[in-house]
Structure formats: structure tokens, C-alpha cells
Amino acid sequence: MRTVTKRINLWQRWDRGLLLALLIGAIAAWPFFANPSLPVATDAELHIFRIAEMGYSLRAGNLYPRWAANFYYGYGYPIFNYYAPLTYHLGNWVTLFQPEHAVTGAKTLFSAAALLGAVGAYLLGREFGGQGGGVLGAGAFAFAPYILLINPHVRGDLPEVFALAIVPWTLWSWERLWGGGGKVAFVAAIGSATITLLSHNLTGLTTMLLLMALSAWHWLIGRNRARFGWALLAGILTVLLTAFFWLPFLLERGLIRLDVAGEGHYDFRNHFVLLRDLLAFLRPIDWRAATNNPTMSVGPLLVGLAIAGFVVALILHKKTPQLQRLGFYLLSSLLCFWLITPGSRLVWETIPGMVYYQFPWRFLGPLATLLVPLVATLGNIELPDKRRAALLAALCGSILITALPGLYPIPWATDFGPVDPLTLLDFELQGRWRGTTSTDDFMPVTVDVIPGPAQSLLDSYRSPPIDRINRYTLPADTIVTALTDVPWRNRFAVRAPNETLLRLFLFDFPGWQAYVDGQATPITIAKPEGLVTLKVPAGNHEVLLRFEDTPPRKAGWVVAGVGFIAFSVAVWRFPECKDESVEATREGKTLTWLAVFLGAVLLLKPLFFDHIEWFHYSSQPGEARAARYRQTADIGGEIALLGFDLSGTRLKPGGTLDVTIYWNALQAMTETYQSFVHVVYPEGRIWTQSDHLNPAGYPTNQWPTDRYIRDQHRLVLPPDMPEGEYSISVGIYLLSNNTRLPVLQAESGARADNVILSKTITVRR
């Protein structure tokens, strides 16, 4: 009897809100549980290959790889010296260093991020609204459109997904640290910030800026200023502990291209989100579309609840520290919200480094976290227990109901199978990308012209050992034998009657060192490809090329080592103190109601929601129900126009017009066609235009014939555009010879090589 009573007491003392947060995270991760493998039409495939590439080096004994030997047709390049590497390490740890199962590693991290994010948001929300508010905050974060759907399923950006899941933990632990938390808060503050920095470059940078602003805010409002020294120390230790990553990045930044900004898709000006879209609800997704294309929304209900939460705080906590703390989250949320809109364009153009964010809507991720305390404050509403529990359950239910379309991304049935260097090379040879980037980021600056694939090198991948010798340039009497080795080393046995210049299919980069019979020998760079060459004297020799640490990389490890020692001493010396954070109250009835509701949704989803077209649907072949205006045409017998959307029909000069075209492949294509949208009047007079090298970012030679493509164009009207009525012309062309595909048939608006859409726009001042 005593044992049973003890177990009951333990259950009552346990924070059951954490279990509900885990349940919320499990619901958010449902698509990853319900579908096999991972899709190939998002960036997830790039991160899968990075996990595998790193895994082959880890398994060979390199504990911290910086060189990706098999990327760029086997020429290799230093992506891991510059891109935050933690998720790629974790992806291999969870598969016990089996890079062939990189898909499993990536999928595990996607799922874990949903769970971690929900729990972290619960802890952050609990600081401001008790257990009930914490559960509400967990729902607000986990079901935010960017966190639930856009980032994991539309973009597939695994490092950013994982880093954003840690951001709530970071803010929570720093709140606890400033509130007088003990060693656990101190370690959690440093650990969570470190994880974020090592998971995703931009999210880590944003998080550090938020932590600096949060600490400054606490100092200004006079909250426990005695903790300032420990908060400052936590920030310094975070920077020191991650020096092995950021120090080489900064000191060797000039050695690579980082062309992440520019015209077209990577111009931030094309990715501001209009207010009506930011506050739009998620719409059901058409499963016959080739890609998920939701609106970049912050979630209108979440914005409304955040505003309501701050109003409640004004009423209940007037002139109290709680309200002062919430002021930081309100102002930071407004800043992030504004940075996503066109009104912040001057900031983007003025502040150095902003262009590296590329997409203003990236701030939807931090914004989702910053809204959590504001929403969670609704948990402080003073009502009788039953009414309060019912209210919080209704609010949590509203968040989940409006988010349900996000639980139905387009299903994927693709099976990657084992991931090996040959699979990666095949993807590169298909022209999808090179080196898992689309703009040749992290390519050494010494590479003026990127060479095409070398057949002898590709053949050696199929018949190892991998042979990076350019045998076309070898003298006939010279024999070079490639020897089996690890990814960061290349060894050869050379037999040469005369001094020989060895040319390798290997990009040069600081860190590569050449040795002949153990003696260092200089490397020269073959221009314009930037490939390694070295001279080998006559006779029999063993040649070794090894990628080693440079002084900046060694310095990074030394600084990180000093930081670890300082961290250990700081934890040991951390003072014993009373945690002044608000103790979470036990809310049995509230949590029971929330548990019942979440449990009901968990049951209804597979039993009911999955089988109706409330939150997802499938268009019939040859139609796109998502298109607001239906208009069909046959373009060149290869591509069909199904319909279009317009963001508006009445605009002012200088205004922005979004035109979305729905295309469908009529047959498998071998060419990569381009799409165009022109605003014209009279026909032939183009006032503004948009061209896509790959419509919807999807090369036409990979378009499926059973799914349509949603191709969104943004056009800016000239400021001096005359008033009047204008037509919109669309079509398909081939860039290589600048010829348009003919219009073979159209229900309306047919021209020889373009289609005039059935809706016009009116321009008025």
C-alpha cells in the first residue's frame, strides 16, 4: 500500500504538462511517422547527402571533417569548414555511423525537432503562464505554419528546423538564468546557445542577437542585476566553446565564394511577404500538386492570441516585472514581423550582412518563438477552474484546428535507398545541383571555371580505389597506381623515368599538403579550374596528399579548449542560490481537459480527418482546383496551362503584383524550359516582367506528368506607369536559343507564342 501511495505522489509531483507538450510534438511530427523515407523535391535531399558525406569521413576516423571529398563530381570542396555541422554529426550518431542510412538519420532529426521544439516552447510558456499557459505556448510554437509545414516540408531545411527547435530552450534557460537559476540554468543556457550556433549559421546568429537584446532588457528593467556577470560569462563561454567553427569561418572567409545574394531567386527584394499573406490562414493542400506551396503566414490566430495575451498582462500585471519582461517579446515580435514586410526594405539595403539572410520570411522562425510568452500569458486568466480549463482547451483546440492543413503535406512515396557516393554523383550528373548547393557556395576562389565531370574519375567510383589522377596528361612511360585510402587522403604509387608533373582532379584549398616519400613538396594550382598539380622526381615514389588543419583551424580548437576549461571552472564555482523564477502551479483540471482534447484529435485524425477533404484534397487530372481563375492552353505539346492567380486587379504605379501560373507537363521532357510573365499594353509593349530559369524552382526535365506545378512570379510596376488597363502575357521559352514554344491550342487569349490571361489589371494613382 505504501508503494502504491508513493507512486501516486510521484505522479502528482511530475509536471504532466511536459507529457502534453510531447503529445503536441508527436502530432506535429505525424507526417514523418506516417510516410516512408523522405521527399526528393525539397532541400531535405541535399542535407541527406551531406549527412552521408560526413558519415563516410567519420567512420574512417576523422572526428571533425572539414572537406567533402565526393562533392562536385569528386573534385571535393570545403563546405564543412563553413556550414554549421552539428545536424550532420547527429544524423550519423543516431544511425551508429552508418552513412548508407542517412535518410533515417535525417528523418529522426526532423521528428526529434518537432518534439524538442514543443517541449522547449512549453518550458518557455510555463515561465509566463503556468502549466496551462505552457501547453498553450507549446501549441502556438509547434503549430505555427513556418514551424509545422513550411520549413520541414516545403523547404526541407533540416539544420534550420533543428536549430529553431532549440531556440525556445535557449530563451527559457536564459530567462531562468536571469531569474536566479542555479547550475542547471547556467549549463542549459550555454548548452542550448551552443547547439543553436552549431546547427544553423543564420539561426545561431539571430539567436545570439536575441540573447544580447534579452540581457540588455533585463538590465534596463532592473531585474536581478546581480546576475549580469553570470549572463555575460555564459555568452562569452558560448562564443569560446564554438570557436572551432566560427574562428576558421571568419579567418578563412575570403578563401571561398559565398554568393548567396544576387538577382532572381536569391534577391531578398523578391521575398518580402505582404500583410494579407502574413495574416492568412493555412489552406487545404492539393495532393495533385508537385510541391507544397502554402502562404508564408505567421498564423493570424497566433497573432490574435499574442495580442490578447499582452492585453491580459496589462490588466493582471500592470506595473509588475511580469509585464516588463513581456515587453521584450512584444517589441522583438513586432521587429521580426516588420522585417518580413516590404516596409523594411531600407533596413535590408542599408545594414551590412542582411543580404545573407536571403529571404525576409526566415524571420518567421524566430517570430514563432517570440510569440510563445505572449500567448502563454492567457494561462493567467482568473476564472473558476472548470471555466478556465474549458477556455484554455478551446484556445488550444482553435490553434490546432487552424493548423490541421499543415499536417497534410503532399505525401511522398520515394525511397532513397542506401545513400553512397555513387548516388550523390548520379544526382549531380542529372544537373539538379553541384556540391549540394545551387549557387556554387563555398567553392574555392581559386576556381575560375568549374570543370565538368571527368569520366576516368567517375569510373573509379564504380571500380575503387578512387583515382583522381588526370591520366590524359601523363607521359606514356609513367605509371601511377591509385592506392586505397580515406576521404581526406589521396595516395599513389608513381614509377616515372623522368620528372613528372602530376595533375589531379582535386580542387586546391588551404589545408592540402603534398608529400613525396614523406617529404613535403609544394603544390601548384592549375588555372582556370583551380586543380592541384605537383612535381614528382624520376624514380619510384609514394605520393600522398593529405588535408590538414591550418593555423586558423588549430587556433579555433585551442580557443575552444580554453573555453571548455573555463566552462568547467565556472560550473564548479557557480554559487548556490535560490531560484527566483516563478514556480509552476499544478493545474490538474486544466491539464486533464487539454489531454482529453489532444487525445481526441490524435484519434480523429487517422479515423476521420484523413478520409475527408476538409484539410486536403486532390484535383482531377488536367485541372488545378487551387487556381482562382481557370484558363487552359497547350504550349508546344509539352506543357499545359491550367489556370492562374492574381494578388490583385487594382494597383498603383510602383505597386507589387503576384502572378501564379499553374502548369502541367503533357509528356516527359528532356529540355529545361524557362517561364515568363509580362505586363503589357498594347501587346508587345512590356512594362514589367518576371522570368524563371526553372519554373517554381523545379527544372522542367524533372516535372512529373501526373502533378501540376505552381509557378509564382512577383512583378513590380514602374513608378511612372501610366494609368490604364493592362494585360498579362505568359509563356514558355528555351534560354539556349531564346525561342518560345508555340501555343498550339487555347480556350482564350491564344497568340503565336504566348497566352493573354483572361483577367486584366487596372492601374490608378
Of residues 644 and 608, more confidently modeled = 644
CATH number at residue 649: 2.60.40.3880
Q: Does residue 580 lie in a domain region?
A: yes
Q: Does residue 687 lie in a domain region?
A: yes
Query: What's the half-sphere exposure (Cβ side, CA atoms, 13 Å) at 182?
Result: 7
Using 50, 70 and 90 to split pLDDT, how confident is the model at 53? very high
Q: Does residue 577 lie in a domain region?
A: yes
CA 540 to CA 480: how far, in whole Å?
Answer: 10
Residue 606: what pLDDT? 79
pLDDT above 50: residue 6? no
Say yes or no: 566 and 708 in one domain. Answer: no
Say yes or no: 152 and 249 in one domain. Answer: yes
DSSP states of 532-577: EEEEE-SEEEEEEEEE---HHHHHHHHHHHHHHHHHHHHHHHPPP-
294 near 149, Cβ under 8 Å?
yes
Q: What kind and span of H or E run contains 744? A: strand 743-746
Say yes or no: 599 and 652 in one domain. Answer: no
Residue 51: what pLDDT? 97
Using 50, 70 and 90 to split pLDDT, how confident is the model at 10? very low
CA 757 to CA 93: how far, in whole Å?
Answer: 53
Q: Which of 178-182, 252-256, 479-483, 588-592 shows the lowest mean pLDDT across its residues?
A: 588-592
Q: Does residue 435 lie in a domain region?
A: no
End of a domain among 524, 548, 572? 548
**Phi and psi at residue 270, to the nearest 5°:** -90, 5
From the list 225, 193, 211, 590, the residue with the least C-alpha distance to 383 is: 590
Q: Does residue 520 lie in a domain region?
A: yes
- DSSP, res 473: G
Q: Give the 3-state secondary structure of residue 388.
A: helix
Say yes or no: 215 and 128 in one domain. Answer: yes
Query: What's the half-sphere exposure (Cβ side, CA atoms, 13 Å) at 276?
Result: 4
260 near 590, Cβ under 8 Å?
no
Cβ neighbours of 497 (radius 10 Å):
11
From the list 610, 605, 608, 639, the residue with the least C-alpha distance to 622 is: 639
Say yes or no: 247 and 395 in one domain. Answer: yes
pLDDT above 60: residue 582? no
Q: What is the mean pLDDT of residues 268-287?
A: 91
Number of domains in the chain: 3
Q: Give the 3-state secondary structure of residue 22.
A: helix
Say yes or no: 390 and 488 in one domain. Answer: no
Residue 11: what pLDDT? 41
Q: What angle do CA 243, 249, 252 make, to 5 degrees?
A: 125
479 near 494, Cβ under 8 Å?
yes
Say yes or no: 536 and 634 in one domain. Answer: no
Q: What angle do CA 143, 407, 14 make, to 5 degrees?
A: 50
Say yes or no: 577 and 717 in one domain. Answer: no
- Residues 25-46 have pLDDT tens digits of 999 999 999 888 888 778 999 9
Share of the chain above pLDDT 90, in %: 71
Share of the chain above pLDDT 70, in %: 95
Residue 596: what pLDDT? 76
Say yes or no: 95 and 242 in one domain. Answer: yes
End of a domain among 521, 548, 575? 548
Say yes or no: 543 and 576 in one domain. Answer: no
CATH number at residue 507: 2.60.40
**Phi and psi at residue 463, to the nearest 5°:** -135, 80
- DSSP, res 351: S
Longest dimension (CA), the chain: 95
606 near 623, Cβ under 8 Å?
no
- Residues 431-473 have pLDDT tens digits of 778 888 877 889 999 999 999 999 999 999 999 999 999 999 9
End of a domain among 548, 566, 589? 548
From the list 564, 572, 554, the residue with the least C-alpha distance to 240 is: 564
Q: Does residue 436 lie in a domain region?
A: no
Cβ neighbours of 414 (radius 10 Å):
14
Query: What is the sign, positive or negative, of the torsion defined by CA atoms of 199, 202, 204, 207?
Result: negative
CA 175 to CA 172: how far, in whole Å?
Answer: 5
Say yes or no: 494 and 368 in one domain. Answer: no
186 near 230, Cβ under 8 Å?
yes
From the list 25, 369, 371, 374, the residue with the least C-alpha distance to 207 is: 369
Q: Does residue 159 lie in a domain region?
A: yes
Q: What is the mean pLDDT of residues 743-752?
A: 93
Q: Where on the phi/psi map is residue 328: left (φ > 0), alpha (ψ -120 to 50), or beta? A: alpha
- DSSP, res 298: -
Q: Does residue 250 lie in a domain region?
A: yes
The crossing angle, in degrees rounded to 10, of helices 243-251 and 228-241 is 70
Instruction: Residue 205: give the domain boundaries.
Output: 14-413+557-607
Q: What is the mean pLDDT of residues 655-680?
A: 94
Mean pLDDT of the chain: 90
Residue 122: what pLDDT? 97
Say yes or no: 478 and 516 in one domain. Answer: yes
Residue 127: what pLDDT? 93
CA 202 to CA 747: how far, in whole Å?
Answer: 47
- DSSP, res 56: H
* Strand segments (E) across 666-705: 674-680, 686-692
Using 50, 70 and 90 to split pLDDT, how confident is the model at 578? low
Grid cell 576549461 — which residue?
565
pLDDT above 50: residue 721? yes
405 near 30, Cβ under 8 Å?
no
Most confident of 266-275, 543-552, 651-660: 543-552
Q: What is the pTM of this model?
A: 0.92
Cα 291 from chain centroid (whole Å): 16
Residue 263: what pLDDT? 62
Q: What kind and span of H or E run contains 633? A: strand 629-635
- Residues 150-207 have pLDDT tens digits of 999 999 999 999 999 999 999 999 999 998 888 899 999 999 999 999 999 999 999 9
675 near 663, Cβ under 8 Å?
yes
Cα 25 from chain centroid (whole Å): 19
Cβ partners under 8 Å of residue 678, min gap 6: 686, 688, 689, 728, 729, 730, 754
Query: What is the sign, positive or negative, of the torsion defined by CA atoms of 235, 236, 238, 244?
Result: positive
